[in-house]
Structure 1
Amino acid sequence: MFSAYLAPLLLAAVAVAQNTALEVEAIQAHFTAAGIVPSLLSTFNPSAVATLNFPGVGDIKPGQSLTRAQVGPTPSVAITPANSTVTLTGNFTLAMVDAGPVGSDESQGVTRHWLVNGATVADNKVANASAVAITQYAGPAPPAGSGPHRYVVILYEQPASFSPPEEFSQPNIGVSVFDVNAYAQNSGLGNIVAATYITVEEGQTTASLSATSAVVTSTLPVPSSTGSQSHSGSHSATSGGAAPSQTSQGNSATTLETSWGLVALLAGSFAAML
């Protein structure tokens, strides 16, 4: 009798795992289409999916266009592992930087809007209660007429050997320009666990901006539920190269919606039947 219930539960759990792994591939494609890779990040091989949630707005899709008012409050950040091999223990560093409009030169640094060391992940949400906020969250405020700015939120592994540079060792440092990649390297941060981005524009631009390509998620290959990376292991897997089947219609906010809570619900239902 139990097998009649077990088969659909297992199939549903596998489908959820595959969808989350597909979201990992989708965000890689988004980062390439938006020029974040390789302009800001030379490579991007996440082992989890990051989802921002702004009060009064809700969950945000990658690249979603928001107003300054919408992104004023500090967002919560949810982290969904790509598969069951990805563990979210230990400490993490959370950063948000302004990568500017598409085609910007990030070699001279990017504006830091948020930098938190010693964050943890509890119930798949980034917890900052015991963390050190080097730079408190400062809502995006792009210059009027400068075009849609890409604000990138990144969660890094923070190993025990982590040691921040002296100029970023004390809390409550204001918003300023810095080299996020040099900071990650010099402080000994680990791999990027997850990342996402939003776009915010003030006024209308008359400047000539580089074109981006939309991500057609339906063309992404369906990954194996065991084929994604663990954040504590080596990152091989999917390349952050050109997004497949792209068009030239600007930043896409397309993504797949999934909930790992379904897995827990299914497991609870099955346990109840036993």
Structure 2
Amino acid sequence: MVSLSLLVSLAIVPFVVGQATDTNNTQFQIEAIQAHFSGAGIVPSLLTTFDPEALLTISYDGVSALTPGQALTKTQVAPTPVLAVTPANSTVSLTGSFTLVMADAGPVGTDETQGQTRHWLVNGVTLTGSAPLNVSTTDGVAITSYAGPAPAQGSGAHRYVILLYSQPSSFAAPQGLDTANTPVSVFNLSDYVKTSGLGPLVAANYITVEEGTATFTPSSTAPVATSTLPVPATSTGGSSAASTGSKTGSAAPTSTGNAQQSGAIPKISKTFSVEVLFMAGLATIGFLFN
């Protein structure tokens, strides 16, 4: 009869290994989004720095698993998206209230000091369920309800950034943006964050939407090279995902998706593997001598 200790030891191996793999995969995706934000000029033009502690995923009806900066049509982004957040690792605790913002950062090269069109602003947002956590606006105060992106004809590929900020108890909405059902208008994201006393930026992502063909030559962006991200080699000994080209116009970099499709598998430390084998060995010895 197989001992209970052996069965338990062997049963937890795939579970723990799976958790380590998921954590590494999430961290890689976060680093990929950071690279996209820099490559697309969101950092430092809109955000001075960007050091998220969680992964924000965006899904629209019929369009899910969006890659950072993915190009969508005005029709696709008309309904309110579903958002989810996955902590970078087990040490990240996402509790309390949050503020959700969606701002139009315009085409690459836009002067952000002139402000951004506010498409969504909800205070008192909560995270529910288990990882990935659902971003719930049900009990929040919708200062500006979601308004689907509708860039002007020929104005180029606009970058619509969705951000989730920690909202401390000292938060105070500034005058003019402290009442529900405030229409879509231009505001300055940086000023709003400072004036209201919002906490750190927990997670963010973005999409691009373009109407017609740009009547000007869009500014170029830096390519996002996933090969520079800390992704270990594949199980067959190959290199990590190849770098993607630069994003121009409405074409958005998709290095996150490419990296996942290439078969890159996050690495589990040798120390951990030895510990698991050691535990299983002890259990086996115990079984033999019982």
TM bracket, shorter-chain basis: 0.7 to 0.9
**Displacement, 1:249?**
4.4
Counterpart of 1:17 in structure 2 is 23
Q: 1:191-230 CA distances to partner (integer Å, 9 max, x unpaired)?
A: 000000000000011301111133232430149xxxxxxx
Structure-to-structure mapping, 1:61-140, within 5 angstroms: 61-123=67-129, 124-140=133-149
* Corresponding residue SS for 2:176: helix
* Corresponding residue SS for 1:161: coil
**Displacement, 1:10?**
1.7
One-letter amino acid of the counterpart of residue 253, structure 2: S
One-letter amino acid of the counterpart of residue 255, structure 2: T
What is the distance in 2 between the residues matched to 1:96 and 1:253? 21
Counterpart of 2:224 in structure 1 is 215
One-letter amino acid of the counterpart of residue 159, structure 1: P
Structure-to-structure mapping, 1:221-236, within 5 angstroms: 221-222=230-231
* Corresponding residue SS for 1:74: coil
What is the distance in 1 between the residues matched to 2:221 and 2:228? 18
* Corresponding residue SS for 2:255: coil
One-letter amino acid of the counterpart of residue 34, structure 1: A
Asked if 1:193 is matched to 2:202, the reply is: yes
5+ residue gaps, structure 2: 1-5, 233-241, 262-290
Identity %: 54
**Displacement, 1:246?**
6.7
5+ residue gaps, structure 1: 224-243, 259-274
Counterpart of 1:60 in structure 2 is 66
* Corresponding residue SS for 1:154: strand
What is the distance in 2 between the residues matched to 1:4 and 1:162? 49
User: Of 42, 51, 55, which residue of structure 1 is paired with 2:57?
Assistant: 51
Counterpart of 1:174 in structure 2 is 183
* Corresponding residue SS for 1:59: coil
What is the distance in 2 between the residues matched to 1:170 and 1:59? 33
> Once superposed, what is the RMSD of the aligned Cα atoms?
1.8
**Displacement, 1:245?**
6.1
> Relative contact order, CA 8 A, sep 6+: which one is greater?
1
What is the distance in 2 between the residues matched to 1:217 and 1:190? 30
What is the distance in 2 between the residues matched to 1:101 and 1:173? 25
Equivalent pair of 1:213/1:246 in contact (CA under 8 Å): no
TM-score after normalising by structure 1? 0.83
- The alignment covers a number of residue pairs equal to 238
TM-score after normalising by structure 2? 0.78
The structure having more radius of gyration, on CA atoms, is 2
